[in-house]
């Protein structure tokens, strides 16, 4: 018996402008995306956004690659036929149903050899219990809060689990498209500033054009590779070789089956002895269209982000990739480069990742960096890109130099000078003081992050004007970094425990250190560019 067939039943919620919310079939979603009628999927949770987008793009690309069509069709019936054709052994759409006989495939659920579900002992009663989020403290999101009888939410949970989960104990292996079981599946690409339709069309067309190149580069067959990995039976004891897959394969990493019990949907899961894809040696280098690569000593691996997420330092490294003299650096994701067919205006770099840790989730991070006119002008040629990269990386260096050489000593003056102890002022190597100073530096970085790329555009805009870029940089150091550092220092002084009798002594001394360290680190650079021009941004308050 088939239940909840995505090809024929409309339970996927979409929204667009004044049209309100419309529930569609999966073929209807593809048709509406192609016609430009979908702005958003309002019931997709933030951490599911990328993998849902990736699923739609990869499925559309696989469907068209297996047909005689080269353009995205805009009618629902054509899409229904294309999706049905992806599983020729199941002409009635079994592979696109949420519930099917155990020995047949179901949506993101590999068939079982036989019909025995006794080995599927773990039961998930709600979609968010099945989803891959680890919420041990139950703070930001409540576990088990979603309704069990909502098929749409089970769809998103299945896609999330099967395409971005990692290792979670014996028998629970993760996906192939990340570097190791405790890593994450990052997504970095260029997208139009419109809604879901614009992004879908752009990425699907780009993948169709890149198909042959990526297949050859990563060693996938040009034709005949398996695209939907839930079509094949899996008993948990065998792995698939990447050589048997399509370059845009949509994987499953867990043995899961949806079932009905007392009229409610639930999921049953079983462990596996091996990962579904034997890809450990690949280190996540699978040709994933949104994953940048890290190169070290000519050895590539998929990017893994930590809990800090998409900081300006990380984004500069990724948006302006280059290899150093030792062959180390970063390689852009296939969908990160701007194509000739992309519009002149209204583009952004879109970065998303759900950071995973060992047995925990360390945050969902999403960021958009507008592709400004100034930045767009440097993305056309390798030489121009190198010039922009040098400016961006040098700015990161200046920001870091200010943090460590100027701000850190001033903040340490606060924490080692107060409160007074029997032994006098605290030692400069006091670990507690260091920890508190480093926390203050994080605030500095967070504030700088808010305007870093906007300020970068100002220097890129004058790179062709002799001497002007040097002046713009000097103003940035003097009129942005230094006042920002002073604000952080003032906040630190105000929050630091201190005896009243020592407050002004500590304050004046910290400001003296800030100014003295700034002169030592940056005076030559600033004065060479600006001369003795008055500094209106910050006077020496220590006097």
3-state SS of 126-175 is CHHHHCCCCCCCCCCCCCCCCCCCCHHHHHHHHHHHHHHCCCCCCCCCCC
Residues 137 and 11 in one domain: yes
Mean pLDDT of 117-142: 74
Is there a single domain that holds both residue 156 and residue 230? yes
Residue 471 — pLDDT band, cuts 50, 70, 90?
A: very high
Residues 6+ apart with CB under 8 A from 66: 82, 85, 86, 227
Residue 205 has pLDDT above 60, yes or no: yes
318, part of any domain: no
The pLDDT value recorded for residue 2 is: 65
H-only helix segments in 423-481: 431-449, 452-460, 468-476
Partnered with residue 23 across adjacent β-strands are: 13
Mean pLDDT along residues 224-230: 96
Tokens linked to 81 = 């036929």
The confidence score (pLDDT) of residue 145 equals 62
pLDDT at position 543: 39
Contact 193, 351 (CB under 8 A): no
Is the pLDDT reported for residue 326 higher than 80?
no
User: Average per-residue pLDDT in the chain?
Assistant: 89
Pair 280, 401 in one domain: no
Residue 360 belongs to a domain: no
pLDDT of the residue at 42: 96
Same domain, residue pair 156 and 198:
yes
* Phi and psi at residue 464, to the nearest 5°: -80, -10
Q: Which residues contact 516 (CB under 8 A, 6 or more apart)?
A: none
- Is residue 144 pLDDT above 60, yes or no? no
Top pLDDT among 170 and 519 is at 519
Query: Is 347 in the same domain as 411?
Result: no
- The pTM of the full predicted model, rounded to 2 decimals, is 0.91
For residues 336 and 379, is the Cβ–Cβ distance under 8 A? no
Q: Is residue 541 very low, low, confident or very high in pLDDT (cuts 50, 70, 90)?
A: very low
Residue 77 has pLDDT above 90, yes or no: yes
User: Quick one: CA torsion of 11, 13, 17, 18, rounded to 10 degrees?
Assistant: 50
- Shortest CA distance to 12 belongs to which of 145, 116, 151, 144? 151
DSSP string, 231-280: SS---SS--B-GGGEEEEEE---SEEEEEEETTEEEEEEE--SS-SB--G
Contacts of residue 351, Cβ cutoff 8 Å, sequence gap at least 6: 186, 187, 188, 310, 315, 318, 365, 366, 367, 368, 369
Q: Examine residue 362 and state whether it is found in any structural domain, yes or no.
A: no
Q: For residue 359, is it within any domain?
A: no
Measured in degrees and rounded to the nearest 5, phi and psi for residue 485 equal -60, -40
The mean pLDDT value for 467-483 works out to 96
**Listed range (6-10, 78-82, 121-125, 214-218) with the worst mean pLDDT:** 121-125
Q: Is the residue at 521 inside a domain?
A: yes
For residue 538, pLDDT over 60 is answered with: no
Whether pLDDT at 421 is above 50: no
Alpha-carbon distance of 123 to 536, in angstroms, equals: 65
**Which whole number is the average pLDDT over 225-230?**
97
Residues 349 and 468 in one domain: no
Q: Which residue has the higher pLDDT, 108 or 297?
A: 108
- Smallest CA-to-CA distance from 49 within 145, 160, 161 is with 160
Average pLDDT, integer, range 398-416: 94
Q: How many domains does the chain have?
A: 2
Domain for residue 115, yes or no? yes
283/432 same-domain check: no
Categorize the per-residue pLDDT at 534 as very low, low, confident or very high, splitting at 50, 70 and 90: low
Residues 348, 496, single domain; the answer is no
| Position 137 confidence tier, pLDDT thresholds 50, 70, 90 | very low
Same domain, 31 and 148: yes
- Which range is least confidently modeled, 31-35, 292-296, 472-476, 537-541? 537-541
User: Residue 382 is part of a domain; what is its CATH number?
Assistant: 1.10.132.100
**Same domain for 430 and 340:** no
Indicate if 284 and 381 belong to the same structural domain.
Answer: no
The domain in which residue 516 lies consists of: 373-530
Highest mean pLDDT among 164-173, 268-277, 292-301: 268-277
Q: In this structure, are 338 and 377 located in the same domain?
A: no
Residue 323 in any domain: the answer is: no
**Could you tell me if residue 33 is inside a domain?**
yes
Length of the chain: 543
Q: Give percent above pLDDT 70 in the chain.
A: 91
**What's the burial of 22, exposed, middle or buried (CB within 10 Å: 0-12/13-18/19+)?**
middle
Q: Which residue has the higher pLDDT, 297 or 175?
A: 175
Tell how strand 245-250 and strand 226-228 pair up.
parallel
């Amino acid at each position: 018996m088939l239940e909840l067939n995505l090809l024929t039943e409309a339970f996927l919620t979409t929204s667009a402008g004044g049209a309100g919310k419309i529930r569609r079939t999966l073929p209807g979603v593809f048709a509406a995306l192609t016609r430009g009628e979908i702005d958003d999927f309002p019931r997709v949770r933030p951490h599911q956004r990328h993998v849902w987008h990736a699923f739609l793009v990869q499925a559309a690309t696989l469907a068209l690659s297996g047909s005689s069509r080269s353009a995205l069709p805009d009618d629902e019936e054509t899409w229904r036929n294309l999706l049905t054709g992806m599983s020729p052994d199941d002409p009635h759409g079994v592979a696109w149903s949420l519930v099917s006989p155990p020995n047949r495939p179901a949506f993101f659920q590999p068939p079982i050899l036989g019909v025995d579900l006794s080995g599927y002992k773990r039961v998930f009663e709600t979609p968010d219990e099945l989803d891959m989020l680890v919420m041990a403290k139950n703070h930001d999101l409540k576990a088990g809060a979603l309704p069990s009888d909502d098929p749409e939410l089970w769809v998103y949970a299945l896609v999330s689990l099967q395409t971005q989960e990692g290792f979670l104990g014996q028998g629970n292996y993760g996906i192939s498209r990340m570097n190791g079981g405790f890593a994450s599946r990052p997504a970095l690409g260029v997208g139009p500033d419109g809604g879901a339709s614009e992004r879908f069309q752009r990425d699907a067309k780009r993948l169709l054009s890149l198909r042959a190149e990526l297949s050859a580069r990563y060693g996938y067959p040009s034709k005949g590779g398996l695209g939907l990995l839930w079509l094949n039976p899996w008993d948990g004891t065998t792995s698939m070789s990447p050589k048997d897959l399509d370059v845009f394969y949509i994987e499953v990493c867990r043995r899961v089956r949806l079932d009905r019990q007392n009229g409610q949907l639930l999921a049953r899961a079983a462990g596996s002895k091996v990962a579904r894809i034997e890809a450990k040696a690949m280190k996540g280098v699978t040709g994933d269209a949104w994953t940048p690569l890290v190169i070290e000593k000519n050895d590539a691996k998929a990017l893994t982000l930590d809990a800090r997420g998409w900081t300006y330092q990380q984004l500069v490294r990724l948006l302006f990739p280059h290899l150093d003299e030792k062959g180390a650096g970063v390689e852009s994701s296939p969908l990160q480069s701007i194509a000739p067919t992309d519009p002149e205006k209204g583009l952004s770099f879109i970065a998303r990742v759900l950071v995973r840790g060992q047995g925990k989730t360390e945050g969902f991070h999403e960021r958009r960096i507008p592709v400004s006119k100034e930045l767009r002008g440097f993305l056309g040629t390798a030489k121009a890109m190198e010039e922009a990269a040098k400016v961006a990386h040098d700015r990161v260096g200046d920001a870091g130099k200010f943090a460590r050489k100027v701000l850190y000593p001033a903040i340490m003056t606060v924490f080692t000078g107060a409160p007074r102890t029997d032994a006098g002022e605290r030692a400069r190597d006091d670990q507690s003081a260091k920890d508190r100073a480093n926390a203050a530096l994080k605030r500095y970085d967070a504030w700088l992050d808010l305007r870093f790329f906007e300020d970068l555009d100002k220097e890129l805009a004058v790179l062709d004007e002799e001497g002007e870029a040097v002046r713009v940089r000097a103003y940035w150091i003097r009129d942005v970094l230094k006042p920002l550092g002073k604000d952080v220092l003032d906040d630190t002084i105000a929050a630091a425990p201190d005896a009243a009798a020592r407050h002004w002594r500590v304050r004046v001394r910290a400001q003296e250190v800030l100014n003295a360290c700034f002169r030592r680190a940056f005076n030559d650079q600033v004065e060479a560019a600006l001369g003795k021009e008055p500094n209106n941004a910050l006077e020496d308050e220590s006097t």
